[in-house]
Amino acid sequence: MKPYDRMKELVEKLNRYAALYYEEDAPVISDAEYDAMYDELRALEEREGYTLKNSPTHRVGGAPQKKFEPSRHLLRLYSLDKCKTEGEIAEWYERIVKAVGKEPEITAEYKFDGLTLNILYEGGKLVKAATRGDGVTGEEVTAQVKTIAGVPRTISYTGRIEIQGEGIMRLSALAAYNAKSDEPLKNARNGAAGAIRNLDPAVTASRNLSFMAYNIGYSDRHFASQREMHDFLTEEGFETESDFAVLKGADAAFAFAEKVGELRPSLDFLIDGVVFKVNDTALRDEIGYTEKFPKWAIAYKFKADEMTTVLRDVVWQVSRSAKLNPLAVLDPVDIGGVTVRRATLNNYGDILKKKVKIGDRVFIRRSNDVIPEIMGVAEEAPDAKEVEKPTVCPACGAPVREEGAFLYCTGEHCAPQIVSCLDHFASKDAMDIDGFSEKTAEQFYNELHMTSPVGLMRLKKEDIVGLERFGDKKADNLIAAIAAAKDTTMDRLLFALGIDGIGKKTAKDLAARFGTFEALEKADRDALTAVDGIGEILADNIVSYFADEDNLRLIADLFASGVTVREAEKKSGVFEGMRVVLTGSLPTYKRGEATALIEENGGEVASSVSKTVDLVLAGSDAGSKLEKAQKLGIRIIDEEEFKRMLGIAPAL
């Protein structure tokens, strides 16, 4: 294709996608896909030395919608230039140094993924709020923005000032909204943009939005630096980014970006990068602007965690709890350097709520190591087919039982259930049988007709020696591993049983509270819900499990096969006897590392704040748990104090 024809094609596509994104809040491709086409167009324009008249490379945002009153900004809002590599950060900083003749300080902050807002205050009162629009004129959304609890109606500064920031929907708010809504939102960004650009403020209010302030546009007051702006916004009661930093040099900038990239999966809101700005506002005037963005700022974009692709099929898999789980088969797509071919759809109810059909182009989100999930439909295919609900188990052919949004196999000897059950029972965090794998579980099911963990615990060398992959030495090793695993703790055995809803932590909490299986068997709903993190649904599930004669027989047979439960070793240390809650992101420790240190030093880690909690370890973006701890008067420490308590950092 000739350069002109390709440029024309890209311009037409990008303008269409931008209109859907900015003006209708109905994107059909991901940000990463849009950015890739935009970068291709910009590279073509630079190489060919010309641009088409309607090229999006000269436009900021989108045109205001006619259903809103237009609102002209007092000071133009610019877009940001973007970069994706450490080298590109260094090139940008080198240009800055060359322009001002020295190495200036730069600020670093999150790049929020929501809808840009410009809020005007006069005489200390909020008088108008608008979207960014095309950078010069936006849509007036004052009534909608006034429903956002975190936006102050009044501030102490009585001059004329524009406060800029991002309207966002926290992920917890998105989850709460989707749990109750018949029309789930595809993602938090769409949730925020659609709420603000809705003529009914009640819709905005229903989505429980937040506002993150990060900049000042027009102002009667002079601000000498971005640091001064940030402090002003915080003092006036706006929610601001807690990881805001002042740095010097490209190396420090990239280190900040890497740290934020690691924290990103733990945040309760979407960010798609980090924004760097020259701190000194006087230097900004020297550096200047392009037609579209300031030269003194740049956005470092993270690898994509959301893309679109075509849903080709849905297959149903059987879990160890007999639940049928739908698995989406996709056209392969690269998300953050990982090729994704499969994604979860949760359950049949989820398929209906998201209106997903085979053949549609769908949004796929992959966060950290979590299994990719289909978020919603990007574009409907004219020949798309409904996803059929199975009436029989795809593995064994037994009838399917429907319970709420879930489907269950009713077969007693369904191979995938049994293999998964055996594999889970022997896993590292359960009975920890070294040398036993899912492949071994499948082999024992097929060749030894093993259908229960009891059979595994009763296994003898003569049962397996001579099987494929099992010579004398390997058989001896497995039998020795099984014998060693029989001496276990209550929490390990409880987790190994695979009771629906009981993970490692809940198993530990139950073991600590009840001490024996006999006591747990007798526990009623009230006794169970008194345990931290156990709600009524899980409590009922546990009661039902221990009311089932087959389950009680399984436990009795395990003990008869030689399984013994020893008392868990009690740890001692600085946190002995203390219940500790972790909240927010710590500067250096991951949550799992901090949890292990607390438990190794005698403490118990709780998931929620209550009067029974002794200590709260709080990091950045701590949120509601920190607020509750403050109200209850619970002692709160940061990571430095945590290290001092452990003797890792010197005492003050």
Mean pLDDT on 21-39: 79
Q: What share of the chain is helix, strand, coil (3-state, %, to 5)?
A: 40, 25, 40
Residue 66 has pLDDT above 80, yes or no: no
pLDDT digits (tens, 9 = 90+) for 504-514: 888 988 998 89
Residue 39 has pLDDT above 90, yes or no: no
Instruction: Choose, from 66, 111, 277, 505, the residue flagged as catalytic.
Output: 111
Does the active-site annotation cover 323?
Answer: no
Higher pLDDT, 646 or 25: 646
pLDDT digits (tens, 9 = 90+) for 284-295: 999 999 888 999
Least Cα distance to 411 among 399, 394, 423 occurs for: 399
Give pLDDT, residue 458. 95
Alpha helices in 101-141 (DSSP H): none
Tokens 């990068």 -> residue: 273
Give pLDDT, residue 521. 92
Tokens 């879990």 -> residue: 319
pLDDT digits (tens, 9 = 90+) for 132-183: 988 999 999 999 999 998 899 999 999 999 999 999 999 999 989 988 888 8
Tokens 């900083």 -> residue: 93
Give pLDDT, residue 652. 57
> Which residues is 166 bridged to in the sheet?
116, 212
Mean pLDDT on 180-195: 86
Residue 64 has pLDDT above 70, yes or no: no
Confidence of residue 125 (pLDDT cuts 50, 70, 90): very high
pLDDT digits (tens, 9 = 90+) for 612-644: 889 999 987 777 788 888 888 999 999 899 998
SS in 3 state form for 269-328? Answer: CCEEEEEEEECEHHHHHHHCECCCCECCEEEEECCCCEEEEEEEEEEEEECCCCEEEEEE
CA distances from 130 to 80, 116, 192, 213, 651 (A): 19, 9, 14, 14, 50
Give the torsion through C-alpha atoms of 350, 355, 361, 367, to 10 deg. -30
Provide the b/e sequence for 139-160 (b: ≥16 CB within 10 Å): bbbbebbbbbeebbeebebeee
DSSP state for residue 54 in the 8-state scheme:
T
Q: Which two tokens stand for residue 379?
A: 């574009």
Give pLDDT, residue 20. 80
Q: Which two tokens stand for residue 380?
A: 């409907």
Least Cα distance to 192 among 159, 224, 145 occurs for: 145
**What residue type is assigned to position 203 of the chain?**
V
Q: Which two tokens stand for residue 37?
A: 């086409």
pLDDT digits (tens, 9 = 90+) for 217-247: 999 999 999 999 999 999 999 999 878 999 9
Least Cα distance to 330 among 318, 312, 317, 347 occurs for: 312
Which own/partner pairs from 339-347 qualify as long-range (CB within 8 Å, at least 24 positions apart)? 340/307, 340/309, 340/364, 340/366, 340/372, 342/371, 342/372, 343/371, 343/372, 343/373, 343/374, 344/371, 344/372, 344/373, 344/374, 345/314, 345/373, 345/374, 346/373, 347/405, 347/406, 347/407
Give pLDDT, residue 367. 67
Q: Which domains does the chain have, with CATH numbers?
A: 3-58 (1.10.287.610), 74-301 (3.30.470.30), 306-409 (2.40.50.140), 415-566 (1.10.150.20), 579-646 (3.40.50.10190)
For the chain, what percent of residues have pLDDT higher than 70? 96
Is 333:355 a contact under the CB 8 Å cutoff? Answer: no
Residue 481 has pLDDT above 90, yes or no: yes
pLDDT digits (tens, 9 = 90+) for 302-329: 887 788 999 999 999 998 888 899 999 9
pLDDT digits (tens, 9 = 90+) for 516-527: 999 999 999 888
DSSP-assigned letters across all residues of 251-268: HHHHHHHHHHHHHGGGSS
The overall average pLDDT reported for the chain is: 89
Give pLDDT, residue 59. 65
Q: Which two tokens stand for residue 32?
A: 């990463």
The span from the first CA to the last CA of the chain, in angstroms, equals 69
Mean pLDDT on 462-471: 90
Give pLDDT, residue 553. 94
Give pLDDT, residue 29. 82
Give helix 536-547 / helix 549-560 axis angle, nearest 10°.
70
Give pLDDT, residue 61. 57
Give pLDDT, residue 569. 66
Is 212:168 a contact under the CB 8 Å cutoff? Answer: yes
Max Cα distance, the chain (Å): 88
Is 213:165 a contact under the CB 8 Å cutoff? Answer: yes
Mean pLDDT on 196-202: 88
Tokens 């370890």 -> residue: 617
